[in-house]
Amino acid sequence: MQIFIKNIKEIVQTEKKFRDMVKGKEMAKIETLKDAWLLIEKGKIAAFGKMEFIDSIKPSLKNDAKVIDATGRMVFPSFCDSHTHLVYAGSREIEYIDKIKGLSYEEIAKRGGGILNSAARLHNTSEEELVESAMTRLNEIISYGTGAVEIKSGYGLTTEDELKMLRVIRKLKEISPLTIKATFLGAHAVPKEYKGKQTEYVDHIINEMIPMVAADDLADYIDVFCDKGFFTVEDTERILMAGLKHGMRPKIHANELDYSGGIQVGVKYYALSVDHLEYTGDEEISCLLHSETMPTLLPGAAFFLGMPYAPVRKMIDAGLPVAMASDFNPGSSPSGNMQFILSLGCIKYKMTPEEALNAVTINSAYAMDESEFQGSICVGKKANLYITKPIPTYEFMPYSYGSNKVDTVILGGNIIL
Ligand code: NIG
Ligand code: FE
């Protein structure tokens, strides 16, 4: 079926030539087309152009084409959310109160809260219930404009429960119109049974979990929480090596709580992305500059936890690309609203609207191996896009934080909302 969108006030992030990401000064540029039309065919972006030349496309339009009049409204590529933990059982607002009262993330984790709390709850929840609650979250993020999402395991922490989480993600891939990537995060925290025996737990991940995850082809990527109080650089090296042997490229949690060496070890093992990066200094920046690893910021977590923000200006000014993702999870970022992440990028990282838009689309698409297929409005790419409500400018998107500016959602060429 064809979908023809006409009278578009502005198409944002048009791309004539394919790029897999943008970095440094390039991040401050986006191309747009004002007063335009866009044609979708066979699930892909078939063509777009100016309304004044609409006659050129008319012969290609079929009689049954669905026509959308977008007068006053803009078209954007869907957000790509390259880092979430949105399969979980139950919210954790009790810890939120602890946090308000002043306990740190590490203190809450030490008291048996945090990730271990989510693991205990997940253990007692069926796969069907997990699919149902995750679908509700996926439908919510679709309504906010997300078109692709990465989801991690890591609230299982036993072989059985890690596989259960990954099977849930596989089911979500089948039933959701979103593009979904799965990441195995057995090394999210050391479970209670292995308290004081962290190396043994790492052995268990390597010898049992990874081969079983790989045997059922349940994960696209492998992750480790490489940080102070969690997994060491040595643990991380061993796990990443084992994952790579089974075809899982790393996407890791690094430098959220300290200068953990996580960035360097991620780059060493050819990580697709290193994520969080609140603690990033000159050494880490220079290491990233010589890599194909996408530095990924999660401002929602820094915002929610009241932690320092990553030095993003310094990173972009040094020539790096950056992506942003939501980190949607019950402990440190209970929201998958990428419009809010866009606003946080501008307000807290001092990114320009153009830089922030690139960070939540083309660059976050790169961070989940999707920039060939989505992340910009480019002929031949998947038709994953949204039409806004009437808005005055594209800068209004980050400016008007807190309200949903998305009106119509098209994913894979289907009108979803
Ligand atoms: O990305 N940093 C590690 N993991 C998650 C938090 C998960 C949780 O607290 O449940 C994060 O912030
Ligand atoms: Fe995370």
Domain 2-77+375-415: give its CATH code.
Answer: 2.30.40.10
Looking at the CA of 278, name the nearest ligand: 1
Question: Any idea which architecture 79-366 has in CATH?
Answer: Alpha-Beta Barrel (3.20)
- Give the pairing type, strands 385-388 and 323-324: unpaired
Looking at the CA of 115, name the nearest ligand: 1
Mutation to probe ligand 1, out of 88, 327, 333, 341 (largest number of atoms < 8 A from CB): 327
Residue 127: is its pLDDT beyond 90?
yes
H or E segment to which residue 250 belongs:
strand 249-254
Looking at the CA of 84, name the nearest ligand: 2
What is the spatial distance between Cα 24 and Cα 47, in angstroms, rounded to a whole number? 29
Ligand 1: list residues with CB < 6 Å: 85, 114-115, 118, 225, 253, 256, 301, 327, 329-332
Alpha carbons within 13 angstroms on the beta-carbon side of residue 52 total: 3
pLDDT digits (tens, 9 = 90+) for 279-301: 999 999 999 999 999 999 999 99
Distances in Å between the alpha carbon of 221 and those of 105, 151, 246, 288? 26, 10, 10, 19
pLDDT digits (tens, 9 = 90+) for 3-47: 999 999 999 999 998 899 999 999 999 999 999 999 999 999 999
Confidence tier at 105 by pLDDT (50, 70, 90): confident
Average pLDDT over residues 195-201: 97
Residue 313: is its pLDDT beyond 80?
yes
pLDDT, position 415: 98
Average pLDDT over residues 398-411: 97
Average pLDDT over residues 375-383: 98
Residue 113: is its pLDDT beyond 90?
no
Closest of 373, 416, 395 to residue 74, by C-alpha: 395
Q: Write down the domain spans for the chain.
A: 2-77+375-415, 79-366
pLDDT digits (tens, 9 = 90+) for 342-359: 999 999 999 999 999 999
pLDDT, position 108: 85
In one-letter notation, the amino acid at residue 124 is N
Atom of ligand 1 nearest to the CA of 83: 1
pLDDT, position 357: 98
What proportion of the chain, given as a percentage, has pLDDT over 90? Answer: 94
pLDDT digits (tens, 9 = 90+) for 214-258: 999 999 999 999 999 999 999 999 999 999 999 999 999 999 999
For ligand 1, atom 11: residue with the closest CA: 332
In the reported structure, the alpha carbon of residue 231 is separated from the centroid of ligand 2 by a whole-number distance in angstroms of: 14
**At which residue do the structure tokens 């259960």 appear?**
164
- Give the pairing type, strands 273-276 and 249-254: parallel
For ligand 1, atom 7: residue with the closest CA: 331
pTM of the model: 0.97
Average pLDDT over residues 87-102: 91
In the reported structure, the alpha carbon of residue 379 is separated from the centroid of ligand 2 by a whole-number distance in angstroms of: 33
The overall average pLDDT reported for the chain is 97
pLDDT, position 106: 80
